[in-house]
Amino acid sequence: MKLSKPTDKKLIKSLKRKAGRNNQGRITVRHQGGGAKKLYRIIDFKGDLISYPAKVKALEYDPYRTCHIMLLEGKDNKKSYQIAPQNIQIGQEIFFSDKLQELKTGNRTKLKNIPTGTSVYNIELEPRRGGRIVRSAGSSATVLGQEGKYTILQMPSKETRKILQDCSASIGAVSYPEWRYRVIKKAGTSRLMGKRPSVRGSAMNPVDHPHGGGEGRAPIGMKHPKTPWGKPALGKKTRKRKKWTNKYIIKRRK
């Protein structure tokens, strides 16, 4: 897939860098900072900023996400960025309608109109709120069926859940599935991505980390790995037990 440079400056803006800090300036997410300069592309996750049918004018790289994006131009000559699906071609027409005539890659419609077995991406969780899930490179969810006012989807994590039929989704799978095979060959590449060095806990002293201490290359000396603050680092469930969306989950992810 040949990518072009940004062609519409109205759809690009600069974001202030926070480097893992909160509104008080304190670091809340470690190992962030630096990185190459980048500009944010304004993505239309709802798909209603231009008139349809719209033509794919360009396929572009987006530094803020793992997948590629496509520049669409509608009948009113307005343009917008959307997440590009796999096998999309420049010049192809995209449709967004409640009742689509053809379920082609890139077209967008409500879940109730999508037949069983279809792959979808950029899915809404609430109607008219814009796509929230299945937006990363190479990902897609599968429609398993319709049940009452809900559509049953199998997520990329193999979790099975219900989503309201009036929510919209795009047909196909997200572009650039090769992203999962990328190799960071040197430390400088990681720094350009905005990632600062992470020191192993086992290389520290006991006063600095639960894994620290010992002579030479010593094991961590405990049953389970811990964070610098002594909390479990692996296998600890972080989801709230009484989260209100639990009622929509039919089968938990593995």
Task: For residue range 122-153, list pLDDT tens digits in order.
Answer: 999 999 898 999 999 999 999 999 988 999 99
- Residue type for position 38: K
Q: What is the pLDDT of residue 52?
A: 83
Angle 38-107-79 from CA coordinates, rounded to 5°: 45
User: Residue 249 belongs to what H/E stretch?
Assistant: strand 249-251
Reply yes or no on whether the pLDDT at 50 is more than 90. Answer: no
Structure tokens, 207 = 């006063």
Domains of the chain: 9-178 (2.30.30.30), 199-254 (4.10.950.10)
In 3D, which of 245, 247, 213, 209 has the Cα closest to residue 225?
Answer: 209
Mean pLDDT computed over every residue of the chain: 90
The pLDDT assigned to 136 comes to 94
User: Residues 25-41: pLDDT tens digits?
Assistant: 999 999 999 989 999 99
pTM: 0.84
